[in-house]
Amino acid sequence: MESKLFLSCFLLLIPTLTLTQLELNCHYKEWKEPQEKTWTPGTTWVNQIGQPEFIWKYVQLKEDATRFNLKQDFLNPLQGNAISKMGAMYEHLLDIVNNSKDTFSTVTALCNNCSYYFRTYEGFCNNFLYPDYGMTKSRYSRLLPPNYSDGIHAPTRSVTGSLLPNARRLSLSLYGESTMADSFRTLMTMQWGQLVAHDLSQFTHQDAPADCCRNFNNKMCYPIRLHPLDPIALNSDQTCFNFSRSLSDKDSRHSSNNSIYAEKITFTTAFLDLGSIYGNSLSENKQVRLYKDGLLKVGHRKRFLPIIKSNKNFMCPAQNRYCYVMPDKRNQFIPTLIILHTLFVREHNRLANLLLRLNPHYSDERIFQEARKINIAQFQKITYYDWLPLMIGHKYGYKNGLLHRVKYPGNYVNDYNEYMNAAPYAEYAAAAFRYSHHQIPGWFTMIFSDPRRNQTMRLSDYFDREQNINLVESGNNFDSLLLGLITQLQKRSDDNIDRDIKHRFNRKGFEDFGSDLKALDIQRGRDFGVRSYNDFREYCGLARASTWSDFGKEISLKKISILRRLYNSVDDVDLSVGGSLETHAAEAIFGPTFQCIVGKQFLKTRKADRFFFEHDNSFGGFNQGQLAEIRKVTLAGLICKNGDNISYIQTNVYVSSSRRNKMVSCQTIIQQELNLNLWKDQPLFGK
């Protein structure tokens, strides 16, 4: 009782400190293992709860006893006396934690005051009860236990024990190559989905050979062999697709995972927090911070990203002499993704400049964190209320708690669940959301004010190329690429894969062929040990199939006949395959199985995030006036504010312009959006 009373008093002290009383510098420190140790895949902080070394990850007492970096001049005598005793209080907390049976509730007090109000880059302390939930370098979670063929780590096999059908053969046999346009969704819908995917999940191929086609027997290799009559093999000397297995928590002899099976490791936070823009660690953030006026770094042309001319820190693709400085190098894979990344960097700096004008006494750190917080909230609002309904359907979103109607714009949605582990679902990352690759056309369009200058560019000519920089920065190309994204229709989501994605994915230099993204997606599901399509049909409420004809309600008879010829059993069909062949659910681009999995992922992403923009977070949330402003934000507004010279735009840029989605002047859109005056002189803690 005494310990809990002490902790309560300690936590109550912190919200009384506001910026009017002190200048707070939230310089995050990275959480490091003791020098004699290195990070082990799967060793999350929660594995070591109750051990002294666990506590030292959170508070480096020898370096900074209080972890607050407070300037005593701003404190009144009572607060100054309290702060001076915090070092001793932490010592007492250590003693409590080391001897407490209720360590989870005790360790809450060890999250520093910066993580109360602002997100840490690593995702640490988003959850006070379980501070490691959602952190980088932690395990994926599962909807169903994995189906590794050896029960531990080996890729999935048939129920008969034989190998599953070759992934490339499945791709060639089941999926056509016609590219029909979606009836109304613009290419921005697909491109936004890729940005979201990068933000929520990233696996790594650490320790894998560069070319698995020459290292078939390496444990980290799982290449896809090509049949001699494969169209790529017939027209080139290529005999296989390179494929490396993703890192798991059992890929190290020092692993502390005591579970029977391996679990893959994600290297982003589990939160929708623009980690690909700001970094998922302090070291990544340092690469993009200017450390002046709260700004992110920009290049010599001010409005574009800084360029690195060497492969420092492995930021650039191996074959490129230079590239953009980005925390997540996946974001420079194609020009249209670079455009979206740049848009959010510009928006951050626009917000920082306005906040500094409103609050000239704020420190660089305060300006940076406030701008970051608003930028992330805008990203979340747009993702959930403008983009996600086009993926899963409006009715499904509201019925299942992903979307909420509020009586007043400033009303909170208090669905935060501190008992929910934010870790992304493996089945979402390795199968269901990869169906979005079916929406990629093999070209992108540049739209100019003079229609005679409009251009269509072949996508495979720009995969991971250094010439992407010249394309993005030349002339008015930034605007023309943005206008192309909101004008061109994305590929229809169906059982076809564009030829550039099916035969030329990641094509290098002057090579005629590359890889097959659909085949790689199928192989990735097996690498993750994802359970079968039939298992997930049952999990998501459909009838489990006993015979091939039982698939008939969701999959066409033509496709079922091909599945029957290729697979040994209805229980062998890969989730990535079966889910992609289903008839779409109402309003959605997915069939019911993928709709179910993607829906569960985005429900978790909002409910497990203390900082989600709609939550009434007493420390790090928005006040009601600010929340009402955030709800006004649209992607059209962000484009108008951060494009170079865009004058007119449709209200909903994910949908082609029409009578119901009219072109409107940017001036009109900007006037209706975010009013930053509500962020003038706000207290750091509380509302």
Tell me the pLDDT tens digit for each residue of 358-373: 999 999 999 999 999 9
Say what the pLDDT of residue 509 is.
77
- Cβ partners under 8 Å of residue 399, min gap 6: none
| pLDDT surpassing 70 at residue 26 | no
Q: Are 30 and 60 in contact (CB under 8 A)?
A: no
Q: Which residues of 160-180 are buried (b: 16+ CB within 10 A; e: fewer)?
A: eeeebbbbbbbbbebbeeebe
Closest CA to 325 of 317, 334, 315, 336: 315
Closest CA to 597 of 435, 453, 489, 452: 435
Tokens linked to 329: 């190098």
Say what the pLDDT of residue 358 is.
97
Q: Are 461 and 505 in contact (CB under 8 A)?
A: no
| pLDDT surpassing 50 at residue 258 | yes
Confidence of residue 301 (pLDDT cuts 50, 70, 90): confident
Say what the pLDDT of residue 321 is.
81
Say what the pLDDT of residue 289 is.
98
92 is in an annotated binding site: no
Query: For the chain, what is the mean pLDDT?
Result: 85
Q: Mean per-residue pLDDT for 314-323?
A: 75
The rounded percent of the chain whose pLDDT value lies above 90 is: 73
Q: Which comes out higher in pLDDT, residue 139 or 24?
A: 139
> Active-site positions?
198
| pLDDT surpassing 60 at residue 76 | no
Say what the pLDDT of residue 446 is.
98
pLDDT tens per residue, range 206-245: 778 989 999 999 999 999 999 999 999 999 999 999 999 9
Question: Strand locations in 470-623, DSSP E?
Answer: 489-491
Say what the pLDDT of residue 373 is.
98
Say what the pLDDT of residue 65 is.
31
Say what the pLDDT of residue 620 is.
84
638 vs 648: CA distance, rounded Å: 13
Say what the pLDDT of residue 682 is.
67
Tokens linked to 415: 């669905």
Q: Mean per-residue pLDDT for 415-435?
A: 98
CA 648 to chain centre: 30
Strand partners, 181: 491
pTM for this entry: 0.86
Say what the pLDDT of residue 684 is.
59
| pLDDT surpassing 60 at residue 81 | no
The number of C-alpha atoms within 13 Å of 351 and in the hemisphere containing its C-beta is 27
Say what the pLDDT of residue 205 is.
85
| pLDDT surpassing 70 at residue 626 | yes
Say what the pLDDT of residue 207 is.
79
Q: Mean per-residue pLDDT for 486-496?
A: 98
Say what the pLDDT of residue 493 is.
96
pLDDT tens per residue, range 562-573: 999 999 999 999
Q: What is the CA radius of gyration of the chain?
A: 26
The rounded percent of the chain whose pLDDT value lies above 70 is: 80
DSSP assignment letter at 459: G
Confidence of residue 511 (pLDDT cuts 50, 70, 90): confident
* Residue 444: φ, ψ to 5°: -135, 155
324 vs 307: CA distance, rounded Å: 4
32 vs 164: CA distance, rounded Å: 42
Least confident of 14-23, 321-330, 474-483, 624-633: 14-23
Q: Mean per-residue pLDDT for 348-359?
A: 98
Strand partners, 244: 221
Say what the pLDDT of residue 683 is.
63
Q: Mean per-residue pLDDT for 480-484?
A: 98
Say what the pLDDT of residue 314 is.
61
| pLDDT surpassing 90 at residue 84 | no
Least confident of 71-80, 412-421, 466-475: 71-80
| pLDDT surpassing 70 at residue 585 | yes
Say what the pLDDT of residue 111 is.
72
User: Is 478 buried (19+), middle (13-18) or exposed (0-12) by CB count in 10 A?
Assistant: buried
Q: Which comes out higher in pLDDT, residue 269 or 319?
A: 269
Confidence of residue 313 (pLDDT cuts 50, 70, 90): low
Structural domain spans, the chain:
2-132
Q: Mean per-residue pLDDT for 512-519?
A: 96
Confidence of residue 48 (pLDDT cuts 50, 70, 90): very low
Least confident of 202-206, 303-307, 450-454, 589-593: 202-206
Say what the pLDDT of residue 67 is.
32
